[in-house]
Structure 1
Amino acid sequence: MTATDPAPTPPAVRRLPTQEITTRTDSREILANARRDTERYGLDDYFIVDVDSHHVELDSWPEILTYLDSPVMRDTAEQMMRNWPNAARLALHNHSPGLTMQDVSGRIPHQASLAEDTPDTTSGAHRDVTLVQRAMNAMSIDVQVVFPQPMLETGLHPQPEVATALLQAYNRWFAAEVLPREPRIKTMLGLPFENPDACLETIREFADHPGVIGFLVTSQRHAGVHRNAYMPVYRELEDRGLPIGFHAGPNQSDTMTSTMNKFLSAHAMSFVTCNMTHMTNWVINGIPERFPGLKTIWIESGLAWVPFMMQRLDHEYYMRQSDAPLLTKPPSHYMREMYYTSQPMEWTDDALLESTLRAIDAPNTLMYSSDWPHWDFDVPGRIASLPFLDSHAKRNILGETARKVFNLG
């Protein structure tokens, strides 16, 4: 280089060895290799929808609590935050900070706290939007569906009325403070599922918001989704053309996982059994027959369980159809008409994964999800690199199927 040559411009983003990643590492640095995939597979030419990602709503918890309707409950939360400093980001919540195993010892510790620097703010909606934009741009994502993290645990809250109030407050905060700041951010808002009437109120309050593209049942293990009390909820969603999603979550204290002594064990099983239970009740009780226009999505429980459930439910159905009088076809046929998100996609055996995707008719039912910023997130290149899918199937999975399901235009 001569004296007249310009100095080389340093790269804007570094690629980091894993051991350097901390809770303060910039999202763009963690995701630097996603740009390599984008270039390799030409992903800038794809329409990419991330159907499952997260933000850390507890960073904005004091702001969210101001949206509580009840002045008594709001005052209780304020007393908790004032008198017990550790409750500043947890008041009224059932999140157990001493048991956040998912936030440690994994591949990426980033989800424990998104503590990276952001311009001019350390909390609130502006910061959330900045962090989401960084991830979207790094992964070449056109639309990102954003959910909370600990708020998904409210289905296990010991006080149902508090769970309902917290979900309503969060939904109002997110719709008022986050969604209007970035049109590429969308969400499926959580339903206060312990209260069917409140579910209906939630749908009617937010269904016309341009950033709300559906509604969720979140980590709820104790309510039978086939109960008659929920039928008006499903009818309302069907009439409005809005999908319902079942977002699984971990739990190490239910009757099955309480026997497990490792988080790995509970994580492997509880995400799956949560949705397996709902799927069984959903299909065997004929919900797809009663609401044929209701689009149903199974989120963050992987894919390996689906062929098992198809075979198992079909086997039982053929021997005991009297227990499923509303069904007009085997359970697996209904399951192939539902939708699934890709993360975490169990890819340890090419042949098994190929069989799984064939069983669920993946080109027409599977939708890409990153689960960012969780420790087991997947970038779009994971779908683009599947050797047994053609370009049409990859385009559908990465975004075109979601375009149809969510009417994204």
Structure 2
Amino acid sequence: METQETFPKIISVDDHTVEPPHVWRDRLPSKYHDIGPRIVRAPLKEMTFMGGKFAPVMGEKGDDGPIGDWWVYEDLHRPLTRLDTAVGYDRDEIKLEVITYEQMRPGSYDVTARLADMDVNHVQSAVCFPTFPRFCGQTFTEAKDRELGLLGVRAYNDWMVEEWCGPQARGRLIPLTLIPLWDAELAAAEVRRNAARGVRAVAFSEIPPHLGLPSIHTDEWDPFLRACDETGTVVAMHIGSSSKMPSTSADAPPAVGSTITFANCCFSMVDWLMSGKFERFPNLRIMYAEGQIGWIPYILERADVVWEENRAWGGVADKVTRPPSELFADHVYGCFFDDAFGLRNLDSVGVGNVLYETDYPHSDSTWPKSKEVGESQMGHLAPDVVERLVRGNAIELLGLTDDGLWGPSAPAPSSPSPSPSASR
């Protein structure tokens, strides 16, 4: 195993940004300033997170309760919480509580500070999922005003590409954009608009029907999938991007859901493997952020058995013409940050189908010891395999330069081959 001095510089495919207050204020037409996303400092009345449901209630000025910064958008009141930005805190200090921008680590929302925290963590480059829009833009999908929602999506994407991943990031922050989920044609246009400026990843929902949207088994998403297929844009799905975290009961504590978060990825992956989409869109590739990888081998084994023995009555004989495990090898990427079991069974997953992540700045993050965790869990692997997991696969998938950096002039990925201080 490589020594600490030679452990590859990490390319994290799942980190997060906490959007600074000005993202939409600076980019929306003035007529939307009073109803578009904006920050309000207010007390917390009550907040629960049970059965996979997050339920905060904002108090009014003068009410008792802890003070936090809240995103207000139409009728939505969404506070910043310690779970949004937990790095740097002792595990026992990380609780479900509201916070202000001044109480969070600056690297959560400031590019210069983020790069410094990446340096501390042996991270060269990182893909960042949203916070206020939620993991695939559900916030805008649920809004009443579709015109404003579309402007909100485009404003976020412009901020992501031009500012968060702009010149001051020096190619180290890799853009991940959103789509208007309510309209596949508009979604396709947004994919193409961003692909034209070098974007190679777009966020999508792991289980769209949970959002009241068509399933991947319909043809409704075809314009969007065709745009991704033709532009080499990777479909990135984060746990919770269906706005429904796995749980067992309405009164189950968050620890239950946190243990089984991979379940949504599991369900989603089977959907995709049995959908026929990979055969219709041969350049399409998908990745599962924060889903870990240890569960994948059995699901592939079971999917192959079902396809082989039950496809005649199972509704897939006419659209899935190859074993699901082969489709997985060509089209699907699992992402992990702490999965020793999965790494011990890497051959059953596929060296070319695994990506590394650090989950900064969330409570699950391995920051600032992502290198040490990687060294510990990958100690049995050959150096060239470690190189692929930690950075090589990400470079190929996301069309980065040989040095692992993003830039609008970076080549599109090749086709798949077998095997702030707030201003208020």
Scaled by the length of structure 2, what TM-score is found? 0.72
- 2:397 corresponds to 1:405: yes
- Displacement of 1:139 in angstroms is 2.1
Of 194, 216, 231, 2:203 maps to 216
Structure-2 residue corresponding to 1:63: 23
Distance 1:255 1:184 in 2: 33
CA RMSD of aligned residues (A): 3.6
Structure-2 residue corresponding to 1:92: 73
Are the aligned partners of 2:28 and 2:155 in contact in 1 as well (CA < 8 Å)? yes
Distance 1:199 1:242 in 2: 12
- 2:310 corresponds to 1:326: no
Distance 1:54 1:99 in 2: 14
Distance 1:65 1:272 in 2: 35
Structure-1 residue corresponding to 2:229: 238
Structure-2 residue corresponding to 1:9: none
Of 69, 75, 93, 2:34 maps to 75
Are the aligned partners of 1:380 and 1:398 in contact in 2 as well (CA < 8 Å)? no
Distance 2:13 2:399 in 1: 13
- Displacement of 1:151 in angstroms is 2.2
Structure 1 residues 53 and 102: CA distance shift in structure 2, 3 A: closer
Structure-1 residue corresponding to 2:161: 175
Distance 2:101 2:274 in 1: 41
Distance 1:389 1:38 in 2: 9
Which is further off, 195-204 or 96-105?
A: 96-105
- 2:117 corresponds to 1:135: yes
Distance 1:253 1:297 in 2: 19
Question: Matched residue of 1:281: which SS?
Answer: helix
Question: Matched residue of 1:142: which SS?
Answer: strand
Structure 1 residues 64 and 159: CA distance shift in structure 2, 3 A: closer
Distance 1:382 1:179 in 2: 27
Distance 1:390 1:108 in 2: 38
Distance 2:242 2:280 in 1: 31
**Match of 1:52, as an amino acid?**
D
- Displacement of 1:234 in angstroms is 1.4
**Match of 2:292, as an amino acid?**
G
Which is further off, 399-408 or 247-256?
A: 247-256
Structure-2 residue corresponding to 1:273: 263
- 2:131 corresponds to 1:155: no
- Displacement of 1:408 in angstroms is 1.2
Which is further off, 243-252 or 257-266?
A: 243-252
Distance 2:81 2:355 in 1: 31
Structure-1 residue corresponding to 2:64: none
Distance 2:39 2:17 in 1: 24
Structure 1 residues 95 and 170: CA distance shift in structure 2, 3 A: farther
Of 222, 239, 262, 1:248 maps to 239
Structure 1 residues 40 and 141: CA distance shift in structure 2, 3 A: same
Task: Name stretches of at least 5 consecutive residues in structure 2 with no aligned partner.
Answer: 43-59, 62-66, 402-424
Distance 1:265 1:240 in 2: 39
Distance 2:294 2:229 in 1: 28
Structure-2 residue corresponding to 1:5: none
Scaled by the length of structure 1, what TM-score is found? 0.74
Higher strand share: 2
Distance 1:79 1:408 in 2: 34
Residues 369-388 of structure 1: pairs in structure 2 closer than 5 A: 369-378=357-366, 379-385=370-376, 386-388=378-380
Distance 1:241 1:78 in 2: 31
1:219-266 C-alpha deviation (Å, 9 max, x unpaired): 653331233121121111121122221122278867855435210111
Distance 1:243 1:272 in 2: 20
Question: Matched residue of 2:73: which SS?
Answer: coil
Structure 1 residues 283 and 113: CA distance shift in structure 2, 3 A: farther
1:340-390 C-alpha deviation (Å, 9 max, x unpaired): 34334333xx5x6412x22111x2111111111111123133233323211
- 2:253 corresponds to 1:262: yes
Structure 1 residues 342 and 214: CA distance shift in structure 2, 3 A: closer
Structure-1 residue corresponding to 2:180: 192
**Match of 1:159, as an amino acid?**
A
- Displacement of 1:163 in angstroms is 5.2
- Displacement of 1:107 in angstroms is 6.1
Distance 1:149 1:75 in 2: 21
Are the aligned partners of 2:38 and 2:73 in contact in 1 as well (CA < 8 Å)? no
1:3-60 C-alpha deviation (Å, 9 max, x unpaired): xxxxxxxxxxxxxxxxxxxxxxxxxxxxxxxxxx9972423xx353111111211xx1
1:135-176 C-alpha deviation (Å, 9 max, x unpaired): 221122222222222322542664363654433321122223
Distance 1:280 1:107 in 2: 36
Distance 1:103 1:264 in 2: 18
Distance 1:61 1:229 in 2: 35
Distance 2:294 2:151 in 1: 35
Of 350, 354, 359, 2:344 maps to 354
Greater relative contact order (CA < 8 Å, ≥ 6 in sequence): 2
Distance 2:91 2:309 in 1: 44
Distance 1:373 1:108 in 2: 15
Higher helix share: 1
